[in-house]
Chain A
Amino acid sequence: MKLNATRLVFAGPVLILSSLIPALLPSQTPAASLSGKVTNPSGQVVSSAKVTVRNLETGQSAETRSNPDGVYTFPNLAPGAYELSVSAEAFAAKTSQVTLATQQQVMDLILSPIPAPLKALPNAPSATPASPSLGDLGFTPQQSQPNAQLQVLLDKRTEMLKIHQRLGLITTIPMAAALITGPMATAKGKNGQPITEPTTANLDFHAALGGATTALYFTSAYYAIRAPRVPGTEKHGAIRLHEALAFIHLPGMVLTPALGIMAYKQENAGEKVHGIASAHGAVAYTTAAAYGASIIAVSWPIHWKFWEK
């Protein structure tokens, strides 16, 4: 059975994209629950401990107290990231983060008694009335106050950029292969030579590699573009060059497949590649060069002696 090349060109990217689509869509949110037991380090239950849970995305919070068995329960919570705080008399308050999935989650909490002042080491630091405190140093609240929402935003940003980075690296594989197979695929009728043998297999393979490169590239680009911006941050350093190079390789990744389809049709029609389609190779090489430079830019400065400790 002869493989339909046009189908192959489009089937690869469509398959890759369709496998990624569920990850990009907002999911339904069935309820989750969180429960656990509050104890001291010896395992004795701590009753009447105040337990608060706060959704880090919406800011909504709920509060409960541990029962005589030390058990606390939060039913019907939306899945997501939460800040869980617990406090009880004579114990140090404790805050931790928990990410809830759709099922019941158990998180036991161990409270430490409020410690006596440090005195183990001869030079050990300790807080005395005359000791300087953080308030003495004159930091602004903006500098010194926690911002849980910003942390959630940074977490999301990092997660998306990690995916961007991994997909970006994977993209280099079909991209390099497409560059290697390109000259073979376009050899038919090149420079006015007569068509001596069918090169359909090469051409189809090259087209499939190009399609896979395009799909991976735009999926990777999606994660970079949609990664949340951090307010008040002025970009500097290598990331600026990395982003500036996208102004070359992004249009290049639109043009290259468009010109490739034209060249593909001309080749299949037995024609010598002509007109604007003949720029396909040059555009592809320029795009790949800019893409490679953008990876090097964000990796700079490269520690060449990386094998040394």
Chain B
Amino acid sequence: MKKIFLLALLLAAPPVFAQLDTQWVIEQSTLTYHMSHPMHQVDGVSRDAKGKGVCHAEECDFLIATPVKSFDSGDTNRDLHMIEATRGAQFPMVVVRTRFPVGDTASATIYADLEVQFAGQTAHYAHVPFQRATQGNQVRLTGTILATCSDFKIDRPSFLTVPIKNEIPVRVDITWRPM
């Protein structure tokens, strides 16, 4: 009974992004890449992402970007090595574009197809799940993009002559507010 009630509540809830021609901006964001090395487990965090979303009658377009050099792993040397390895001076921005139907925005989980530009390459990630939570008029989306170095043709950085693992999952935690 409780489950049915919750389901009914969920279905009755209006899509949060769905108001016509609304625009959204990032209120706060944390993007975290995780890097694995036989001797190291390192997280690099960026809180400088900016983004804008536009919702029309049927779909929403979202754009999120952050400077490559804004990722901080706690050590300058490692961050500079990361910028070098990802050609971050030549391609200084990580840019993510996504579009999803307005109808999807009512769900607790939004599945987004992402186009990610990074290190001079463009990679597509289909059906990436993001958990949605509303806080007043703000919407918080959390999820993980299972990126790899080879998606962006990045020569894996090495430490003590041993390269890092190919997988560099990026945890996304972004809170949006209407403009």
Which A residues are CB-close (under 8 A) to B177? Answer: none
Q: Is the CB of A125 within 8 A of B93?
A: no
Complex: A123 Cα to B105 Cα, angstroms: 13
* Nearest CB in chain B: distance from A86 CB, A: 15
**Residue A247 interfacial (CB < 8 Å):** no
Q: Is the CB of A233 within 8 A of B76?
A: yes
* Nearest CB in chain B: distance from A305 CB, A: 10
**Residue B160 interfacial (CB < 8 Å):** yes
- Mark out the residues of chain A between 139 and 173 whose CB falls within 8 Å of any chain B CB in the assembled complex: 139, 143-148, 150-151, 153-155, 157-158, 161-162, 165-166, 169
By secondary structure, the B interface counts as strand
Q: Is the CB of A303 within 8 A of B40?
A: yes
**Residue among B95, B101, B115 facing the most chain A CB atoms (10 A cut-off):** B115
Segment from B5-13, B46-54, B134-142, B144-152 that makes contact with A: B46-54
**Residue A22 interfacial (CB < 8 Å):** no
**Residue A301 interfacial (CB < 8 Å):** yes
Q: Which residue of A lies closest to B63 (CB)?
A: A132
Q: Is the CB of B89 within 8 A of A138?
A: no
Which B residues are CB-close (under 8 A) to A153? Answer: 89
**Residue among B56, B84, B111 facing the most chain A CB atoms (10 A cut-off):** B84
Q: Which residue of A lies closest to B84 (CB)?
A: A154
Q: Is the CB of A125 within 8 A of B75?
A: no
* Nearest CB in chain A: distance from B143 CB, A: 15
Which A residues are CB-close (under 8 A) to B92? Answer: 143-147
Q: Given A126, A132, A143, which contacts B52 in the complex, CB threshold below 8 Å?
A: A132
Task: Count residues on chain A whose CB falls below 8 Å from chain B CBs.
Answer: 52
Q: Given B50, B61, B97, which contacts A139 in the complex, CB threshold below 8 Å?
A: B50
Interface 1/0 per residue, B56-97 and A, CB below 8 Å = 100001110101000001111110110111011111110101
Which B residues are CB-close (under 8 A) to A166? Answer: 161
Interface 1/0 per residue, B96-113 and A, CB below 8 Å = 011111000000000111
**Residue among B51, B73, B160 facing the most chain A CB atoms (10 A cut-off):** B160
Q: Given B63, B113, B158, which contacts A133 in the complex, CB threshold below 8 Å?
A: B63
Q: Is the CB of A131 within 8 A of B67?
A: no
Q: Is the CB of B115 within 8 A of A125?
A: yes
Q: Is the CB of A158 within 8 A of B74?
A: no
Q: Is the CB of A306 within 8 A of B113?
A: no
A239 in contact with B84 given A132-B52, A132-B63 (CB within 8 Å) = no
Which A residues are CB-close (under 8 A) to B112? Answer: 123
A151 in contact with B99 given A131-B63, A139-B50, A239-B77 (CB within 8 Å) = no
Q: Is the CB of A299 within 8 A of B39?
A: yes
Q: Can you list 29 A-B contacts with CB-CB less than 8 angstroms, sorted by A residue number?
A: A122-B113, A123-B111, A123-B126, A124-B115, A125-B61, A125-B97, A125-B99, A125-B115, A130-B61, A131-B61, A132-B53, A132-B62, A134-B65, A137-B65, A139-B67, A139-B93, A143-B93, A146-B89, A146-B91, A157-B80, A158-B80, A162-B158, A233-B80, A236-B76, A237-B74, A237-B75, A242-B77, A301-B41, A302-B40
List 6 A-B pairs, minimum CB-CB distance, nearest first: A237-B75, A150-B89, A132-B52, A125-B97, A154-B84, A151-B89
* Given pairs A139-B50, A145-B92, A158-B81, 8 additional interface contacts (CB within 8 A): A131-B63, A132-B62, A133-B63, A136-B63, A137-B65, A235-B76, A237-B77, A238-B75
